[in-house]
Amino acid sequence: MAILKIARMGNPVLLRRAEPVADPTAPEIRRLIADMVDTLLDAEAAGLAAPQVHVPLRLFIFRARPERLTGLAEDTPTGIVAIINPIVEAAGERVALEWEGCLSIPGLRGAVPRPERVRYRGVDAEGRPIDATVAGFHARVVQHEMDHLDGILYPMRMDDFALFGFTEDLMRAAAATAGAPREGGRDG
Ligand code: NI
């Protein structure tokens, strides 16, 4: 197990479409996931996609900690989930605007519009199917990580760059400004 080096915005690995995992149960995939978990915990992050650790494969890990959830009924908490060869689709028309950060864009936060509710499918490292319909933060972190597999970084989803800034300064302004990033909001 190891803490892996994280690619930062500007590195081409973050802009390419990742390749499907041929054998989700392969030992090297299990090792990669274990190292990604170590890396996520070390960074206190909410999610991490394989391209962020310089591995252009279609898998990511994430967690939806109770303190991050929005209160929506389908915003279900999870421990750390690893999903391989995922598919994510919007479930409904509602769009939510919430703050996001990214381990590949350290120190910054932006407000990103995304579908409020999604269905995601894939397999875990034992090859077992995953199929869930979720909302709120859970849906957001899944979409953020899924985007990494398609070479998309969250600023590419933003439509208002007035809602983009350094976390430290946004937090300082939060006392006077509704809608600023929540304390404890961590990167994906
Ligand atoms: Ni990210």
Question: Ligand 1 centre and the CA of 37: distance in Å?
Answer: 15
Specify whether 168 is catalytic.
no
Tens digits of residue pLDDT in 118-146: 999 999 999 999 999 999 999 999 999 99
Task: Tell whether pTM > 0.85.
Answer: yes
Domain 12-173 has CATH 1.10.10.10: no
Cβ 39 vs Cβ 5: under 8 Å = no
Segments in the chain below pLDDT 50: 184
Instruction: State in Å: Cα 103 to ligand 1 middle.
Output: 6
Domain assignments of the chain as residue spans, ordered by start = 12-173
C-alpha 22 to ligand 1 mean position (Å): 24
How is residue 134 written in tokens? 């979720």
**Residues 45, 186: contact at Cβ < 8 Å?**
yes
Catalytic position from the list 98, 100, 116, 145: 145
CB 139 within 8 A of CB 75: yes
167 CA distance to ligand 1 middle (Å): 15
20-44 pLDDT per residue, tens: 999 999 999 999 999 999 999 999 9
